[in-house]
Chain A
Amino acid sequence: MAASEVQTVADVRANRDARRTGGTDVIVIVRTILSAMRMTFLNLFRKPVTVHYPDKTRNYPDRYRGLLALVYEKDTGEEACIGCRLCEYVCPPAVIKVEMLKSEKRNYAKSFTLELYACEFCELCVQVCPTDAIVMMKSFDMPTTDRRELLLDKDRLHSIGLTFEQSWATGNKLRDMQGPPKQAKPVAHAPAAAEGTTVS
């Protein structure tokens, strides 16, 4: 559809070069130096873009990939994880280790360890989870001084799920968004404003 539009950029710059009338070199140099200094001077009066973290945080968008957590089912309050190990197989750096505990009605996870210090935050585990058990949070605030604290076991993963705000993506939502033949529609999200909000 596009005709061959290869041009040199001579005509793209024609307007700018036409601005520069003659004049001795010194005048041009002085004028250009002053215009560069004017640029920095103008920025002196623009508002700084710094956000005073951690007193204020910025609004994280709904899909933010933060910490990982395990959640409970909404209706029964039981653990949502059925120990199927799909997340363990899909994880590229292989940081998840799950053991299944079989039971009469449904299976559980006997143990679930996630090495957060090696996690890539690629969200593939969230994508494949059939029961929406593992999700990501809208925060990354978990600074530690000891790497062993980032080796999360099942209890810590559940407590993270209760502490922070959950982000939008769960397994079923992601699979619905991706797969044909259903018409994919853009999903409404809360707008991520640029202002800082005070942390309560």
Chain B
Amino acid sequence: MIASLPGWVVLLIAPVVVLHVVIGIVTYVTLLERKFAARMQSRIGPYRVGPHGLLQPIADAVKLMMKEDVVPTAADRPIYNLAPIVFLLPCMLIFATIPFAPGLGVADLNIGILFFLAVSAMEIVGLFMAGWGSNNKYALLSAMRAVNQVISYDLPFIFASLVPVLLAGSLRLGDIAAAQSGLWFVFYPVIGQLAFIAFIASTVAAENRAPFDILEAESELVAGFRVEYSGMKFALIQLGEYAHIIGSSFLGALLFLGAWAGPGPEWLGPVWFLIKAMFVFLLVTWVRWSFVRIRVDQILALSWKALMPATLLLLIATAFVVVWRTNGGV
């Protein structure tokens, strides 16, 4: 049905639809996280706004839109104002390459995963602009930590994502998903599980989620690089952060958990995809609410001394396995 429409129509409508769906998912994912975290802490999450708190994200959105936009006097105006947008844009752009069903996506590029990884690393620019433009020592300190950390952890993230690419033999996300129709990559003996764990660990760190959230560190730097933002700009930054996490969850579900593969008719595919992405997201959330954070030098040590060599070795091992498989071994 999608293929029968003229290309330019799809090109106009698809991004709009995907954008709205993504924003809807991101908004309600905040509620999911709050309820999940609350249950782990022996309490109930949002409960009063709407039945069982279902209207809470909408109330939050309305509140943020109505808030006064306070700009510090000495802030670097152009950079300060532009930073939320520069932060949000890559986080939304990563959804362009994810196919939600065979053939259903904005643009299933040939270099899909390369686009995803490259664009998702661009949010650091927005982050640093926010820290610098705020004219606040706390924000600057946190922005400097952020640049350190995100760059350090993007490398293991890339290496861990390249393992399914090697196993599938293509950079195109649709092909990787299709190659898992027999066996999901996470069930691949040893390599699959190790790559999945490395993916989760580097996702948690590259997105500044606890226990690697030294850059926002509420008890030290209050809100980190976001400290001087209020109102709609803060909403944009929050939106960007959660969109990045959800995007990585979708990527994880696609690379390792077989994307839309699941029992039932074919139109149920996107639903399974969503469920698997939520599973990855809840895994990340579970890790977040279980650990205290570690210091910045320990985070960097973990990345450069442990995670990156490990994922590099894993990639080389995967290459050997692939070669051995294509040359006749089973």
Contacts and interface: CB of A to CB of B under 8 A. Distances in A.
Within the complex, are A and B direct neighbours (CB within 8 Å)? yes
Interface of A: 33, 36-37, 39-41, 43-44, 46-50, 52
Contact of B290 (A37, A47, A50): A37
Contacts of A49: 42-43
Contacts of B44: 48, 50
A48 B286 contact: no
A40 B211 CA distance: 15
A71 B290 CA distance: 53
B39 A44 contact: yes
22 contacts: A36-B290, A36-B291, A37-B287, A39-B290, A40-B40, A40-B286, A40-B290, A41-B286, A43-B39, A43-B41, A43-B42, A44-B39, A44-B40, A46-B42, A48-B38, A48-B42, A48-B43, A48-B44, A49-B42, A49-B43, A50-B43, A52-B47
B286 A37 contact: yes
A48 B287 CA distance: 20
Interface string B17-61: 000000000000000000010111111100100000000000000
B279 interface: no
A100 to B, nearest CB: 49
A44 B45 CA distance: 12
Interface of chain B, main secondary structure: loop
A43 B40 CA distance: 5
B234 interface: no
A37 B283 CA distance: 10
B42 A40 contact: no
Contacts of B36: 44
B237 to A, nearest CB: 27
A40 B44 CA distance: 15
B115 interface: no
Most buried by A among B36, B40, B44, B291: B40
Contacts of A50: 43-44
A40 B289 contact: yes
A33 B38 CA distance: 20
B290 A48 contact: no
Contacts of B42: 43, 46-49
6 cross-chain pairs, A with B, having the tightest CB-CB distances, nearest first = A40-B290, A40-B40, A37-B290, A50-B44, A44-B39, A48-B44
Interface in B135-190: none
Contacts of A52: 47
Nearest to A30: B197
Contacts of A47: 42
Contacts of A37: 286-287, 290
A48 B39 contact: yes
Most buried by A among B38, B42, B287, B289: B42
Contacts of A44: 36, 39-40
Contacts of A46: 42
B291 to A, nearest CB: 6
Given A37-B287, A44-B40, 7 more contacts: A37-B290, A40-B286, A40-B289, A41-B286, A43-B39, A43-B40, A44-B39
Most buried by B among A37, A39, A47: A37
B212 to A, nearest CB: 13
A36 B288 CA distance: 12
Nearest to B283: A37
A125 B38 CA distance: 42
A37 B288 CA distance: 10
